[in-house]
Amino acid sequence: MAWVERRGDGFRVRYRRADGTVGTDSTHPTKTAARVRANTVETEQQQDVYIDPSNGKITLHGWADLWLEAHDVSKGTAAKYQTYLKTHILPRFGDTPLNAITRMMVKTWVKDLSQRRAPATVSDILSVLSMLMG
């Protein structure tokens, strides 16, 4: 069973793992968005296809594939996300397990991107990575 909890300014989706411990799947700005994700988590758990993002065994590339499938945006936005992933994010972090991506790694990467891209572009790329990691 998955449920929603208030966390700071947003809401997080929590669930019970098979071993009885509680995990956090994701955070969302609205309660409605969190409830939608909680329902998805429950469905995936019932179908035995849920992948716990906190276990660190999944790479960013593997998670990005799942995230893109579940992320409901316009075709233009989806194309932009895919371009940022293919061109900037996955070449740097694609083979890295989620739990191995550190804040310092991201800061170094952003510094490098800033030398080659406009500030607004860097901000957009970082926003996609942030949503993906959230």
31's enclosing H/E stretch is: helix 31-46
Whole-number pLDDT of residue 17? 87
115-128 pLDDT, tens digit per residue, is: 999 999 999 999 99
Write out the two tokens for 94: 């694609």
d(CA 56, CA 54): 5
- The structure tokens listed for 118 are 């406009």
Do 93 and 101 touch, CB atoms closer than 8 A? Answer: yes
pLDDT at 50: 82
Please check the confidence at residue 131 and state whether its pLDDT lies above 70. yes
Tell me if the pTM is above 0.75.
Answer: no
What is the per-residue pLDDT across 12-70, written as a single tens digit (0 to 9) for each?
Answer: 999 998 888 898 888 899 999 999 999 999 998 888 888 776 666 688 998 898 888 88
Of 11, 16, 51, 6, whose CA–CA distance to 34 is shortest? Answer: 11
Structure tokens at 77: 């936005």
Count the Cβ atoms, other than its own, within 10 Å of residue 21: 8
Fold of 60-133: DNA polymerase; domain 1 (1.10.150)
